[in-house]
Amino acid sequence: MQPRVRTRGPHGGAIIGYPLDLLYEEVAFLAYYFHWDLSTIMAIEHDDRRTFIEAISRLNQRANEESHLA
């Protein structure tokens, strides 16, 4: 299963393929934290999935840092 391919002009810049192991990690991460189903996660563009993952990671890092200070 590969994410949708988007083109960015005549010289490419689109995702041609994406390693399945990384896709599974992204799906598992978002499913774990947001409790979204597979079809919902796969309907999200790759860049948007990465944005959600980065935001969750920052929140987790902040929470971990605060718990160590307490």
The whole-number pLDDT of residue 12 equals: 52
pLDDT in tens, 4-59: 544 444 545 555 688 999 999 999 999 999 999 999 999 999 999 999 999 999 99
pLDDT of residue 5: 45
Question: At residue 60, does pLDDT exceed 70?
Answer: yes
For residue 3, name the pLDDT band (cuts at 50, 70, 90).
Answer: very low
Can you give the pLDDT at residue 69? 83
27, 41 contact by CB (below 8 A): yes
CB 2 within 8 A of CB 17: yes
Would you kindly state where each structural domain of the chain is located, as residue ranges?
20-69
On whether the CB atoms of residues 28 and 41 are closer than 8 A, the answer is no
User: Within 13 Å and on the Cβ side, how many CA atoms surround 38?
Assistant: 6
Both tokens assigned to 56: 């969750």
